Each structure stands twice: as structure tokens, then as C-alpha cells.
Amino acid sequence: AANVWPRLRDFAVSAWEFGRADRRKVVFGAKVGLALTILSLLIFVKGPFRQLNRYSVWAILTVVVVFEFSIGATLSKGFNRGLGTLSAGGLALGFAELSTMFGDWEEVIIIISIFLAGFFASFLKLYSTMKPYEYGFRVFLITFCFIMVSGYRTRQFIETAVNRFFLIIIGAVVALVVNVCIYPIWAGEDLHNLVAKNFAGVAKSLEGCVNGYLQCVEYERVPSKILTYQASDDPLYSGYRSAVESTSQEDMLLGFAIWEPPHGPYRMMNYPWKNYVKVSGALRHCAFMVMALHGCILSEIQAPPERRQVFSSELQRVGNEGARVLRELGNRVKTMTKLEPGDILFEVHEAAEELQKKIDSRSYILVNAECWEIGKRPDNMDTVDNLIVIEQETKHLTTKSLSEAVLDLRYVQVPKSWDFRDSNSGFSSSHLAPGSPDNMVQKQISWPAQRSFKIDAPLKEEESRTYESASALSLATFASLLIEFVARLQNLVDAFEELSVKAKFKESVVEPVVE
């Protein structure tokens, strides 16, 4: 018992925090309370309208059942409830009429009709296109059984049906008026914000992946939550994951938003909510590339840091420009403004092109020439190191602010061995590595060569060379995925433009470019 009070207090504190974090939830609770209070006044009705009093419970029931967080959800449930009640009422009255005509067989007819209603309503609601009307089927069944049963008992089929319907209407109207008129919460707005937020998440992940890759971030142990695709608070991971994972939430919000009348900034009949989901889908298509980039960081096969540095400024620039485009688009979704004339992708395409050219002229870094059967290139390693020096002298500092963090790494003396990764305590930035112990139970993904080929020990030399070559190719993969990410942006821009036209976004005010 001594435990109860502190626990209750903790609970109250966390509920208070929860309410402070999203005030709308408190408002929602108060609105439900208010609607119920209004309807509970019905029980004090006396005199000619005392029928209202008697059936008031139905109005209260309707509020509890129909009153949902967003207006779209409330409308869709209200519609389902109305439709279910009406059709069930009609059908039940028909069957009741029929059953009385059969005299002695009345009970049999009632029982058979209840079985049939139960069977068809339950079977048909599993039909995939009927999914949004699941609740309607349930209401249908309840109403039908209710009218049949209580009608039989009281012999007032019609009165039961009419009263019930009337009180449900009252309940629904009160629920709706309270929900719409006091601090309305719109599903469409939630959808809009969700899509805009996804852009920011993917942009953050993209930047994080590129920076992390260049700073040679490594996971000592990959969190098992990432390996089994569960939510995790890893910063690189959570950004794209939430964008990838929001499909079902978007679909749900879309289902509600289409019920909502024009309101606020969405003043248009048939507002193109579907296009928000489409934009989010196109963003997801890009996010999968960010996911693959993150895979290069998660992988055990890692390119040697000195080789990454060769492409550092180009990779950095593509990453920054890509994230800038995503943020810009996200911002425009949020503020509902059209794109400025001119190609928003110009800079990122230029950056990607530059990266591509750099790869083109330095692609020997990406492969391991020592094993070529058509003649070995002499002093390959030295050349690479020389080139790194050349890089440092001639590179264009296009992305000053961010590349400075990388810069000081470049002047660290680079050991000339391939086993660089094992001695790179200076490089392996560890801010991702530690975490709660239960996150880290999983052992690291193991590169096959180390596990299954222990048997051919004499081949060890060859093995390690193979590993080297794989690790160099991993850099090519990273660059290639980044370029593919850029290519996918076009599709995203197209989807955004379709949205901005259909939803009649504001024209962007062309200001003098300040960059």
C-alpha cells in the first residue's frame, strides 16, 4: 500500500506531461466530456417529450462510439452508424412484418432472420473493398438484432426503430457540433504535417549518413533493433525509418481526410489528399536509397578511410545539396507554396555530375589492381597516397562549413597498410557505438569470408586481398547509391509539382537569390 501513492503520483505526473506535450489530446478529452454532459441533460426532460428521457441512453451511446479524435474519423463513423442503423431498421421492420404474417411460425422467422443477418453481415465485412464500412456492418447487426428482439418482447417494432434512430441522430449531431465547433482537430492537417515531417527526417538521415561515412563512423555492434527493423533511437536510422514506416498511418489519415469538408488552408472541394500520400510515396522511394547508404555504414566491409577522403568533398556536396533539396521541398509542402521557376535540382545534379567525374578520373581507387590478370599496375598504393596529397592541394572547398570537420582528418598521417581499419582509433568516431545493453545483444554482421573459409588456411593471403578489394568496392557502391538517390529526386519533384498544381499552392514570391 505504501507503493500506491508514489506510483499514482508518477502516473499523474506523466499524464500531465503527456497532456502538455500535445494539448489537443486534453482538448479532445474535454470535448467528449462536454458532449456527454449535454446529452445527459436529456434525462431531466419531463412532460410531453419524456420519450427522449427514456431512450436517452442511445444518444449517449452514439457519442461514445462516434466521437473520434479527428473530424474526418467522426464523420466517417457517423456516416457508417447512420447507414447501418437505417438499413437495419428498414430490413428489421420488413422481417417483423413478415414474421407476424406467419402466425405460429413467428419465432422461427425471427431466429432465421437473425442467423441470416449475422452470417451475411459478418461474411461481407471481410470483403476487402468493404474494409472502411466494417463499423457500419457491426452497427447494422446490432440494430437489426436489437429491433427484432426488443420489438418481439414489447410488440413495438416501429416505435423502437424510430426512437432509436431519432436518438442516434441527436447523439450524432451533438457529437459533430461539439467536435467541429470547439477547437477542431483535422485529420487532413495531421496528414499534411506528417508528410512535411518525413522530408525533414529523410534529409537528416541523408546528411547523417554522408557525414558519418566520411568520418568513418562504425558501429562496434549494430543495434539488434536495426537488424530486425524495429524502432530505435539511432539518429541516422530513425529519420528514414519513420518516413518508410508511416505508410499505414498515412493511409489511415487519408481515409479520414477525404471525409472532411473544406477548411482552413484546404479550401477546395475534392482536395487532392491522395497526392500528399503520393508525394510521401515518392519520398519513400528516395528514402530506400538512404537506407541502402546506411547499409554501407552498417556493413562490415568498409572502405579504407584514406580512399574515402579522396572523394570527400564531392560526396559531401552531393549529400548537402540532396538534403537541401529535401528540406526545401518539405518546407514548400509545409507552407504550401509552389516551386520557384528554375530547376530546383540544378545544384544537386551538378554536384552528382562532379562526383561522377571524380569517380571517373580516379576509379582505380575503387578497385584493387594488384589482382588483374592483364598486368599489374606498379606502385598502385603509392599512387593512391600521392593522389590524396594532390587532392588536398587542389580541392575546391565548395562546402566550407561542413567540410572543415572532415578537413583535419585529412592531415592525419595515413598508414600505408590495407589493415587500416584495425588501427584507426583516431578515425572510428564512436558517438554511435555505445547504447543501452539490450540494444546491443546482436553480434556484428559477419563478412562471410571470415566464417566459412577457415578451412582453406593456405589461401589466407588471397583471402585478405579479396577482402581488400571488396572494401574498396564498397566506396564505389556508396557513391553509386548516392547518385541513384539524386536520380530519384526527379520523381519526387514531379510528384510535388503535381500536388502543387492540383492543390493550388500559392505562387512562390521570387526574391533576389540569397544563398
**Contact criterion met (CB below 8 Å) for 410 and 216:** no
Helices (H), 155-186: 157-181
Centre a 10 Å sphere on the Cβ of residue 448 and count the other Cβ atoms it contains.
Answer: 10
Binding-site size, a copy of itself (CB under 8 A):
133
Q: Running DSSP on this structure, what letter comes out for residue 415?
A: P
Nearest CA to 71 out of 190, 168, 201 is that of 190
Please state the closest distance from residue 30 (CB atom) to a copy of itself, in A. Answer: 6
- In order, the DSSP letters of 91-154 are HHHHHHHHHHHTGGGHHHHHHHHHHHHHHHHHHHTTSGGGGGGHHHHHHHHHHHHHHHHHHHHH
Of 225 and 332, CB closest to a copy of itself: 225
Of 432 and 483, CB closest to a copy of itself: 483
Instruction: Map the footprint of a copy of itself across residues 457-496, applying CB under 8 A.
Output: 462, 465-466, 469-470, 473-474, 476-477, 479-481, 483-484, 486-488, 490-491, 494-495
Give the rounded distance of the alpha carbon of 26 from its chain centre: 25
Amino acid at 131: K
Of 330 and 409, CB closest to a copy of itself: 330
Please state the closest distance from residue 245 (CB atom) to a copy of itself, in A. Answer: 7
- Torsion-angle region of residue 103: left (phi > 0), alpha (psi -120 to 50) or beta? left
Of 378 and 408, CB closest to a copy of itself: 378
Instruction: Map the footprint of a copy of itself across residues 261-290, applying CB under 8 A.
Output: 278, 281-282, 284-285, 288-289
Please state the closest distance from residue 244 (CB atom) to a copy of itself, in A. Answer: 8
Query: Does 135 contact a copy of itself by CB under 8 A?
Result: no
Residue in this structure with the C-alpha cell 588471397, named with its chain if needed: 462
- Torsion-angle region of residue 342: left (phi > 0), alpha (psi -120 to 50) or beta? left
Of 206 and 409, CB closest to a copy of itself: 206
Query: Does 8 contact a copy of itself by CB under 8 A?
Result: no
Q: Single out the residue of 49, 102, 105, 127 in contact with a copy of itself (rule: CB under 8 A).
A: 127
Instruction: Map the footprint of a copy of itself across residues 372-391, applying CB under 8 A.
Output: 372-374, 383, 387
Please state the closest distance from residue 405 (CB atom) to a copy of itself, in A. Answer: 27
Q: Single out the residue of 8, 371, 381, 405 in contact with a copy of itself (rule: CB under 8 A).
A: 371
Instruction: Map the footprint of a copy of itself across residues 288-317, applying CB under 8 A.
Output: 288-289, 291-292, 295, 299-301
CA distance 512 to 499: 26
CA distance 170 to 78: 11
Of 95 and 409, CB closest to a copy of itself: 95
- Kindly list the distances between the CA atom of residue 496 and the CA atoms of 273, 330, 499, in Å, as whole numbers in the listed order: 12, 10, 5
Instruction: Map the footprint of a copy of itself across residues 182-241, applying CB under 8 A.
Output: 226-230
Q: Single out the residue of 346, 397, 417, 426 in contact with a copy of itself (rule: CB under 8 A).
A: 346
Q: Containing H/E element for 199?
A: helix 187-214
Instruction: Map the footprint of a copy of itself across residues 65-124, applying CB under 8 A.
Output: 65, 67, 69, 107, 110-111, 114-124
**Contact criterion met (CB below 8 Å) for 165 and 89:** yes
Helices (H), 411-459: 448-452
Of 110 and 409, CB closest to a copy of itself: 110
**Contact criterion met (CB below 8 Å) for 141 and 88:** yes
Instruction: Map the footprint of a copy of itself across residues 9-68, applying CB under 8 A.
Output: 15, 18-19, 25-26, 28-37, 40-41, 43-44, 53-54, 56-57, 60-61, 64-65, 67
